Structure 1
Amino acid sequence: MPLSPWRLRLLIVALLTVSFLGALDHTVVATSLATIAGELGAVEHMSWVIVSYTLASTVLLPVLGKLADLVGARLVFLASLALFIIASLFCGLAQDITQLATARVAQGIGSAGLHLMPQTIVGEVTTPRERPRILSLIGAAFPIAILVGPLAGGLITDAWGWRWIFWMNIPIGMLALALAVVAVPHIAGRSARRFDIGGAVVLGITVTAFVLGAGWASAGGDSGVPVLVAALVAIVGLAAFIAIELRVSEPVVPLRHFANRTILFCIVLSTVIGVGLFSVVSYVPTFIQMAYGTSATVSGLVPIATVFGMLVSTLVTGSLASRTGRYRAFPIFGTSAAAIGLLVMAFLPAGMPLWVPMLAMGLVGIGTGSFMNIIVAVAQSAASRSDTGSVTATVSLVRQVGSTTATAIVGGLIGVGVTAGLPASLDAATLTPQAVAAASPAVQTQVAELYSGVLAPIFIGLALAYVVGIVASLLLPPGRLSDERDAPSTAAAESAIA
């Protein structure tokens, strides 16, 4: 039964509130990390505040997606929100790093539901034609959170203390929970089907090994053996997971998704986003500071331009896709624009005016945002309603794993390249923008050229990732999103790989 216009608006408000809450928690903690670690006396373990959260939210994505298909997205959504609120309380009450990391695991599990279930619910209660517009509105929470999160985290920590960056989730979460109880309709599950416990456990171990291995590899040092062990566990785990999924009647990640051309190329495009943009955006401010000699505040203008471009384009293209029903042109345009922006970054001479990299990275953001949420709607339209949760989770999972892995690789390459080429007067272990600013003009020029030289091939490599996205976009079956809730797009019936 379709929702009335006012009920749909209320649902969008509820889902947007929850999505913003989940997205904000990804960004607000980073500003307060040093303060948290210092007060808890665990500076050497402060990375676990982030790692425990990210790992839990990544591993649980496919599990929650499948649970939504079995017991209904509404139940999983409300349970995830309740867990997130309770975990936020305990994060603020933590007295040591172990307690905080444990609470962050629970918070990460809840956050996975806050990210995934709004998209799944939209896929369940709206027509394929409506989804791009609604998903773009809900998806706007992510770039907004990137813009305001670090600033909000710093202000809250300075004014009230770091514990309030977690406790602020409680009143907002309670409001969101009240809205969700009223706005989210009942969505019937398929509880007669059995949950794939073996597949979920093996997938969790595999993803954990993969993510940890990527993190250890980026850290360098004496991490060779742990990285090798993690890689072996991930390879064996992947093989075992595929074997399990081929045998069970209801796999946690149905491999039939990968036999559908529409879904397969949406998965490829989602991976491209994680690899091509999310892996490098956190390193861009350092690059700008070192290569352009700017302050930390000024260097933040470049990622802001990227995120703002993403925000505008996701809203515009989502509206256009819902109005026309056509979707294939948006990933073709988006991947092409992002590839051009990264190539411009690769060949920029050191010392160019700051507005040039801002425009280039803004183009990357515009390109990525133009198809980031549309591919979720297209993948949902190509799957059966009984697989809405699992296909949405799969698209999100590959993006997150791709981002984590590529971030580790990019960080490692930057570290190795800068250390190898650094002038003798500077120490890599204590290299800061302040140290470079205090050096002679000749050394500053050397550092600027070094960072430009190190980042250039990285930008080219990421541009090539978007070129893969261009190919995937061209291979994406053309079609029109349907106006009927249970009908697939016109491409879906022809999209199975023979």
Structure 2
Amino acid sequence: MLGKVGDMIGPRAVFLGSMVVFIASSIGCGFAPSMLWLIIARVVQGMSSAGLQLMSQTIIAETTTPRQRPKYMAVIGAAFPVAILVGPVIGGLITDYWSWQWVFWVNAPVGIVAFVLAVIAVPHIPGGGRSRFDVAGSATLTGGIVALVLAVTWVVDTQQTVAALVAFAIAAVCLAAFLVIELRAAHPIVPLRHFADRTIATGIVISAIVGIGLFSITAYLPTYFQMAYRTSATVSGFVPIATVFGMLVSNLTTGWMASRTGHYRAFPLVGTILGAAGLAVMAILPVGLPLWVPMLVMAIVGLGTGAFMSLIVAVVQSAAPPGETGTVTATVNLVRQVGATVATALIGGVIGFAVAGGLPPGLDAASLTPAVVHAASAADQTQIAQLYRDVFAPIFLSLAATYAVGIVASLRCRPAGSPTNIPTFPWLRRGIL
């Protein structure tokens, strides 16, 4: 939605407006008198942060040449792994020495400085003119995604079977309606004709792998290593840190190399191969190995993912039609976030269901924590460690298969300098079924 608005009125206006809303919602989070208030403020904060992310990428695309774009996009992409590495540490220090409210309030002074710099430095980029906003498409897409996430969350719970089936039905109806609306809309929120361009279509597929293949599993890695390797919470955090550090290094390196050489095709191919290989190795690693072994393997997965994480956004932007850079950028990010959200919910449900069915007698999945496991008998700890390994092995293999799809898509990437607008699905270009 914000990508379309950025194309209509210009990305600078959306960027500055999102920054104001982000500052205001951050202050509101800090002053929240109840959990409901905090949840609402966080939703608004999340919406505004999406505007900041999308419009920063769009502004870079509009103010740089295709040759320069990868290195600048890599700098923006580096903000994510840096935030993961530094954010929790700073947040913990602020909470310990000030209060949890300051985790949100600190955004105000920093945001005001950023706003002033943006007003001065970000140039005016004219929009494509006001057009009718695709309200129906936006509503059906939102409804379909929410229903789909709920459905995959509930589907593994036998007590929620009916609710899951209803949610799946609602998701199917909403997404089918969304496709029909987008094919007929004069100004669709997600122009499906873009998928007729091979560069955009393959780029979106490769970008989705970042969400499905890595973001979805990262949140569960600390729990996996606390249970399977019987580490502490602090030590278990080293594995995702190694993963993120690998992403940071390769993200900056490949962005610089792509801008310097003018070629990009090898990076997604090598990156998806490394990701697939690393996750496949994770599936066969036995428990009890020194922690540096899975750290090294996941660092390789991070290196592979970072090789195309930001680069592919720059490639897709270069293939976008004039005046639709924001919409295409939003589509890439939307597919990535939806993939991460749905895959995270599905993985969480599978883990919860499988672990509950294999626990030793006397242990309840609802109250199972690393502290409970570490206090259990040696025999129970060994059984739980093997259980988690057996549960996570097929998950790692499934995510490796996701990267394997990316290998195929990378082979279809158009070499730099080749003609654009080669239709992959001609019926999308015609806008009819």
TM range (shorter): over 0.9
Task: Give, in whole Å, the separation in 1 of the partners of 2:39 and 2:268.
Answer: 38
User: Structure 1, residues 436-469: CA drift from partner, whole Å, max 9, x if none?
Assistant: 2222322222121111111111101110000001
Structure 1's unaligned 5+ residue stretches are 1-62, 481-489
Mapped contact 1:262–1:495 kept (Cα < 8 A): no
User: Structure 1, residues 166-185: CA drift from partner, whole Å, max 9, x if none?
Assistant: 11110111011011101110
Mapped contact 1:339–1:467 kept (Cα < 8 A): yes
- The structure 2 residue matched to 1:291, chosen from 205, 228, 232, is 228
What amino acid maps onto 1:313 in structure 2?
S
Task: Give, in whole Å, the separation in 1 of the partners of 2:56 and 2:159.
Answer: 42
Partner of 1:104: 42
State the 1:192 CA deviation: 4.2
Task: Give, in whole Å, the separation in 2 of the partners of 1:410 and 1:315.
Answer: 30
Task: Give, in whole Å, the separation in 2 of the partners of 1:192 and 1:411.
Answer: 42
State the 1:496 CA deviation: 5.1
Partner of 1:175: 113
SS in 2 for 1:293: coil
Task: Give, in whole Å, the separation in 2 of the partners of 1:89 and 1:330.
Answer: 41
Q: Would you say 1:130 and 2:58 are equivalent positions?
A: no
Partner of 1:333: 270
Q: Would you say 1:375 and 2:312 are equivalent positions?
A: yes
Mapped contact 1:262–1:491 kept (Cα < 8 A): no
Partner of 1:74: 12
Q: Would you say 1:433 and 2:433 are equivalent positions?
A: no
- The structure 2 residue matched to 1:205, chosen from 143, 150, 153, is 143
Mapped contact 2:149–2:345 kept (Cα < 8 A): no
Mapped contact 1:336–1:367 kept (Cα < 8 A): yes
Q: Would you say 1:145 and 2:73 are equivalent positions?
A: no
What amino acid maps onto 2:59 in structure 1?
I
What amino acid maps onto 1:492 in structure 2?
T
What amino acid maps onto 1:398 in structure 2?
V
- The structure 2 residue matched to 1:311, chosen from 248, 257, 272, is 248
Partner of 2:279: 342
Task: Give, in whole Å, the separation in 2 of the partners of 1:269 and 1:120.
Answer: 19
Mapped contact 1:66–1:389 kept (Cα < 8 A): yes
Task: Give, in whole Å, the separation in 1 of the partners of 2:9 and 2:419.
Answer: 29
> So what's the TM-score if we normalise by structure 1?
0.83
- The structure 2 residue matched to 1:323, chosen from 260, 284, 302, is 260
State the 1:159 CA deviation: 1.7
What amino acid maps onto 1:417 in structure 2?
A
Task: Give, in whole Å, the separation in 2 of the partners of 1:118 and 1:330.
Answer: 23
* Aligned length in residues: 426
State the 1:248 CA deviation: 1.8
Partner of 1:157: 95
Mapped contact 1:124–1:385 kept (Cα < 8 A): no
Partner of 2:431: none
State the 1:242 CA deviation: 1.3
- Go from structure 1 to structure 2 and tell me whether the alpha carbon gap of 1:426 and 1:202 turns closer, same or farther (over 3 Å shift): closer
What amino acid maps onto 1:475 in structure 2?
R
Task: Give, in whole Å, the separation in 2 of the partners of 1:435 and 1:80.
Answer: 44
Mapped contact 1:130–1:322 kept (Cα < 8 A): yes
Matches within 5 A, 1:17-96: 63-96=1-34
- Go from structure 1 to structure 2 and tell me whether the alpha carbon gap of 1:363 and 1:354 turns closer, same or farther (over 3 Å shift): same
- The structure 2 residue matched to 1:492, chosen from 405, 408, 420, is 420
Matches within 5 A, 1:383-398: 383-398=320-335
State the 1:216 CA deviation: 4.1
Q: Which has the larger displacement, 148-157 or 234-243?
A: 148-157
**Which fold has the larger relative contact order, with Cα–Cα distance below 8 Å and residues 6 or more apart in sequence?**
2
- Could you tell me the percent identity over the aligned residues? 58
User: Structure 1, residues 410-433: CA drift from partner, whole Å, max 9, x if none?
Assistant: 111111221222122433232222
- The structure 2 residue matched to 1:120, chosen from 58, 69, 78, is 58
Mapped contact 1:203–1:237 kept (Cα < 8 A): yes
Partner of 1:365: 302
State the 1:217 CA deviation: 4.2
Structure 2's unaligned 5+ residue stretches are 427-433
State the 1:74 CA deviation: 0.4
What amino acid maps onto 1:384 in structure 2?
P
User: Structure 1, residues 93-122: CA drift from partner, whole Å, max 9, x if none?
Assistant: 110112112212221211110111111111
Task: Give, in whole Å, the separation in 2 of the partners of 1:326 and 1:94.
Answer: 50
Q: Would you say 1:255 and 2:188 are equivalent positions?
A: no
What amino acid maps onto 1:420 in structure 2?
G
- Go from structure 1 to structure 2 and tell me whether the alpha carbon gap of 1:99 and 1:440 turns closer, same or farther (over 3 Å shift): closer
Partner of 1:483: none
Partner of 1:419: 356
Q: Would you say 1:246 and 2:190 are equivalent positions?
A: no
Q: Which has the larger displacement, 193-202 or 282-291?
A: 193-202
Mapped contact 1:80–1:114 kept (Cα < 8 A): yes
Task: Give, in whole Å, the separation in 1 of the partners of 2:154 and 2:110.
Answer: 35
What amino acid maps onto 2:108 in structure 1?
I
SS in 1 for 2:209: helix
Mapped contact 2:141–2:175 kept (Cα < 8 A): yes
What amino acid maps onto 1:324 in structure 2?
T
Mapped contact 2:19–2:52 kept (Cα < 8 A): yes
